[in-house]
Amino acid sequence: MFDLLGTVFGAFDHSLRPGIRETIDSLRESGYQVDFWTSGRVEHYEQLLRQAGIKGEIYKKSAELPRKPDVCIDDEPQDWMPGHLYKVEMHFSQDTPGPEILVAEVLFVNEKANFFWD
């Protein structure tokens, strides 16, 4: 589950985080379901994802999710979030980008947590 503002899209200009499309595509090609959530307006982010050529369901952070995500990737993760939390640096804008989110890092967060808690 990817947060949108500050994680996928720039907090100031809604630019795409560097490499995010490739990360999402790689996760999906590896068989993982990738969805999104936001505290903002879902319709607004549906349009931004569509313009970026990224498909996926968007959920409100305040609503019940249809399934528990394995990993929640967020620039401001909260204790109430389900699954394993992966904090990333905020992506502000095209001129002040956040670092790429690598597939290996996302999978490591999930595998490491499963190793310790299984």
The pLDDT value recorded for residue 14 is 97
Give the pTM.
Answer: 0.92
For residue 16, list its beta bridge partners. 9
Could you list the pLDDT tens digit for every one of the 118 residues in the chain?
999 999 999 999 999 999 999 999 999 999 999 999 999 999 999 999 999 999 999 999 999 999 999 999 999 999 999 999 999 999 999 999 999 999 999 988 877 655 444 4
Confidence (pLDDT) at 5? 98
Report the C-alpha gap between 51 and 102 in whole angstroms. Answer: 22
pLDDT of 109? 84
Two tokens at 47?
């349009």
The predicted pLDDT at position 114 comes to 54
Which pLDDT score is estimated for 117? 43
Beta-carbon contacts of residue 85 (< 8 Å; ≥ 6 apart) = 71, 72, 74, 77, 109
